Amino acid sequence: MTNGKPGSASEEEPLRGTLYGIGVGPGDPELLTLKAARILGEVPVIAVPTSYSDAGSMAMEVIAPLLEERKRSHRSPEIVSLLFPMTRDETVLREARMRNGELLLGALSRGDVAFVALGDILFYSTFGNLLTGLFALRSPVPVEVVPGVTSYSAAAGRLVEPLVQGSERLAVLPAVYDPSEIEEVLERFEVVVLMKINKVFASVRDILERKNLLDRSAFVSMVGRPEERVSRTLDELAPGSVPYMSLLVVRKNGWLK
């Protein structure tokens, strides 16, 4: 895995490749799309996000079978690691975007590059930050997007429940917002998906209890992975046991079963 200083590609240097943004799904390698598998089986360079969370390494775990197959056929790709700091400091984020953009321009000057991320590539993904830095350095850049299965659609599949039906409205938001904002969304929408709940699980559970929605809420974590957990009884969950890759599905109209 390549880490290091930005590449030296200049604006005058031609880009010989296309940047593929590929969503690899929530964790089950069998949920990788055929198009994603084809591209990842061919590209000379695969870029992966890294941070203080484990999302980058998990994306690599999803595509590990493909990488093993390429290794056996002596066609292993170059792996480029792009650092995305877990911070809200705009100066730090801007520097990271520019550094990652330079690294990608260097790789694209040699050929195609696939950037992989969990879930869908344009849904709460680092790919948006990557494009911001890339387009600030150079435009146009050839980009093709390969959508992936989102964690909440996979979670609905594990629950064997429709996410929305008829005229029901769906809201999907990170549960890191102010509690009053979560309460407002729960008032306005029939179905609410709360993501990234690990740090705020206790307070969110209190809100659901106060609104009499505990029995209409389901917890899914690490969906599609061996350590997956599904529960419709939130009281049995200790806040400290909730992993980063966790979500809640709240259906105000109730469940089918």
Kindly report, residue by residue over 55-86, the tens digit of the pLDDT: 557 899 999 999 999 999 999 999 999 988 87
Comparison of pLDDT for 72 and 14, the residue scoring more: 72
pLDDT digits (tens, 9 = 90+) for 183-232: 999 999 999 999 989 989 999 999 999 999 999 999 999 999 999 999 99
In this prediction, residue 87 has a pLDDT band, given cuts at 50, 70 and 90, of confident
Mean pLDDT score, 43-63: 81
| pLDDT value for 179 | 82
| 108 plus 168 within the same structural domain | no
Q: Are residues 137 and 172 in the same domain?
A: no
Q: What pLDDT was estimated at residue 12?
A: 60
Q: How far apart are CA 182 and CA 33, in angstroms?
A: 33
How much is the average pLDDT of 28-53? Answer: 92
Q: Is the same domain home to 99 and 205?
A: no
129 shares a domain with 156: no
Mean pLDDT of 151-175: 95
pLDDT (average), residues 92-102: 91
What residue type is 2 in one-letter code? T
- pLDDT, mean of residues 140-148: 96
Do both 130 and 157 map to the same domain?
no
Domain edge (last residue) among 92, 111, 146: 146
Q: Are 189 and 248 a contacting pair, CB within 8 Å?
A: no
In a domain, 4, yes or no: no
The reply to whether 13 falls in a domain is no
Residue 166 pLDDT: 95
| Coil, strand or helix at 174 | strand
Q: Give yes or no: residues 219 and 244 share one domain.
A: yes
CATH number at residue 222: 3.30.950.10
pLDDT exceeds 80 at position 11: no
38 with 131, same domain: the answer is yes
5 in any annotated domain: no
Tally of domains within the chain:
2
Q: Give yes or no for residue 17 having a pLDDT over 70.
A: yes
pLDDT of residue 93: 86
Q: Is the confidence at residue 167, as pLDDT, over 70?
A: yes
pLDDT score recorded for residue 55 = 52
For residue 8, the model assigns a pLDDT of: 44
- How far is Cα 44 from Cα 80, in angstroms, rounded to an integer? 11
At 116, which CATH number? Answer: 3.40.1010.10
How high is the mean pLDDT of the chain?
90
Phi, psi of 250 (to 5 degrees): -115, 120
Go through 173-193 and write b for each residue having 16 or more CB atoms within 10 A of its CB, e for each that does not: bebeeeeeebeebbeebbbbb
Whose tokens are 């996979």? That residue is: 154
Residues 135 and 164 in one domain: no
Q: Which domain holds residue 193?
A: 151-251
Average pLDDT on 227-248 reads 93
Angstrom distances, CA of residue 106 to CA of 75, 132, 137, 142:
20, 16, 12, 14
Whether 227 and 237 have beta carbons less than 8 Å apart is answered as no
* % of the chain beyond a pLDDT of 90: 77
> Per-residue pLDDT for 128 more than 60?
yes
What are the structure tokens assigned to 94, written together? Answer: 């801007």
158 with 111, same domain?
A: no
Pair (235, 156) in one structural domain:
yes
Of 97, 116, 146, the last residue of a domain is 146
